[in-house]
Chain A
Amino acid sequence: MNLVNAMKRVAALLGILALPANPAWADSIASKVEELGKMKYLNVSSLKTVNRNGLLNIQAEITNDSASNQQLFYRFKWFDGNGFEVGGEEPWKPLTIYGKQRQNITTVAPMPQATDFRLVLQSPDNETTSPSSW
């Protein structure tokens, strides 16, 4: 039991979801997060999922590395077992993250059919390598 916990902790440190029971969840944070560009000051420091009453619950921790407040826009996309988007389009949600703050985003799937998700993140300070630069 202690060995399992230790492995989970190591997996969490490596940025792997701490839920290896279901192979579908043995994915990295990066595979569940869609950043529009690359966030300069914010990062997803942990991502947890659990199934409660047949609904997928998610908790994502966003860390602000800078000392100044950062604006974040986010929404979730939900997918059924066949990879089709379900539940309709979510509204973009604004969130202010204070300097050096760790802020949790928690949500629950809109319906039991939603078994997979993507967290879409946009910050006004997102960086991108524009195609014109090369």
Chain B
Amino acid sequence: MNPTSVIRIKSISALLVAMSGSLLTTGCASTGSPIVGSGPVTYGDAKAVESVTNEFGSTDLQTMAEAMTRSLIQSAVIARGNRPLITIAEVKNKTSEYIDTRSITDSIRAQMLKSGSVRFAVDTHAMQNQTDELIRQNQTGLYKKGTAKKIGGMEGADYRIEGNIASIVKLGSSVKDVYYKFSLMLVNVETGVIEWADEKDIRKTSSR
């Protein structure tokens, strides 16, 4: 018997063992999954390309946020490496549909912070909580003197992010075409100079 035929016999026997093993396991009950209930619910991939309808969707939000973040971290004022303080102003929704633009800017802010290249100051929406906390610590008399954070120590942002999202919708006899354009810019708060701007556009077409 030559060595190759020995190997062949070994692999065939291994195959038979594997096949008998699979036959045995199909005979047994499958293991229980950690699931409660048997409703028609499945958990899918949150990062999958969503093509359910033509309206603004999760893929549009995710790709816009990602594209803007990647562009922003390469901008000259951020790439300099001195971790500037940024705040988020409003992103106007100029489309014909409801879009939570704050959700896009929240994603951008989270990804920017993860990159470690910037710091963020509380924006106008979080300001109420910020002032409430400071006032409670300083004016209720409940806190130890040394631990109450002083009023007047907040840092002003160097730059602000603002922009808008616009759309063009065209309806043909058999087709609906939606074009989204997300524009964002980084403005120097002191000088008013626009230090960076970029656009991300998305086209979605569906037959109807």
Check: A87 CB closer than 8 A to any chain B CB.
yes
Pick from A55, A87, A92, A110: contact of B48, CB below 8 A.
Answer: A92
A-B contact count (CB 8 A): 50
Tell me the bound Cα distance from A87 to B59 in angstroms: 18
Residues of B within 8 A of A92 (CB): 45, 47-49, 59
Interface size range of chain A in the complex: 10 to 19
A73 touches B70 (CB 8 A): no
Residues facing B in A58-111 (CB within 8 A) are 73, 75, 87-94, 107-108, 110-111
Determine whether B131 belongs to the interface, using a CB cutoff of 8 Å to chain A. no
B115 CB, nearest partner CB in chain A, Å:
4
Which chain B residues in 35-62 approach chain A with CB under 8 Å? 45, 47-49, 59, 62
* Alpha-carbon distance A75/B59, docked complex (angstroms): 12
Interface pair B111/A110, CB less than 8 Å apart: yes
**Per-residue contact bits, chain A 36-67, to B (CB 8 Å; 1 contact, 0 not):** 00000000000000001111000000000000
CB atoms of B70 and A108 under 8 A apart: yes
Identify 11 residue pairs between A and B in the complex whose beta-carbon atoms are under 8 Å apart, listed by A's number: A53-B74, A73-B49, A87-B114, A88-B114, A89-B47, A91-B47, A92-B45, A93-B63, A107-B70, A110-B73, A112-B116
| Contact of A91 with B62 at beta-carbon distance under 8 Å, contacts A75-B47, A112-B116 already known | yes
Give complex CA distance A94, B49 in Å. 7
Task: Indicate whether B87 reaches chain A with its CB closer than 8 angstroms.
Answer: no
- In the complex, given contacts A90-B66, A91-B49, what are 19 additional A-B residue pairs having Cβ atoms less than 8 angstroms apart? A53-B81, A54-B81, A55-B74, A75-B47, A91-B47, A92-B45, A92-B47, A92-B48, A92-B49, A93-B49, A93-B59, A107-B70, A108-B70, A108-B73, A110-B69, A110-B70, A110-B115, A111-B114, A111-B115
The answer to whether B116 and A111 touch across the interface, beta carbons within 8 angstroms, is: yes
Name B74's closest neighbour in chain A (CB-CB): A108
List residues of chain A with CB within 8 A of the CB of B62: 91
Contact indicator per residue, chain B 103-136, by CB within 8 Å of chain A (1) or not (0): 0000000010011110000000000000000000
Partner of B73, one of A55, A73, A75, A90: A55
Q: Give the shortest distance, in Å, between B1 (CB) and chain A (any CB).
A: 25
CA distance A89 to B111 in the complex (A): 11
Q: Looking across the interface, which residue of chain A has its beta carbon closest to that of B79?
A: A53
B134 to chain A, nearest CB (A): 32
Kindly supply a per-residue 1/0 record for chain B positions 12-53, scoring 1 wherever the CB is within 8 Å of any chain A CB and 0 otherwise.
000000000000000000000000000000000101110000
For the complex, give the distance between the alpha carbons of A18 and B186 in Å: 35
- Chain A contacts of B111 at CB under 8 A? 88, 110
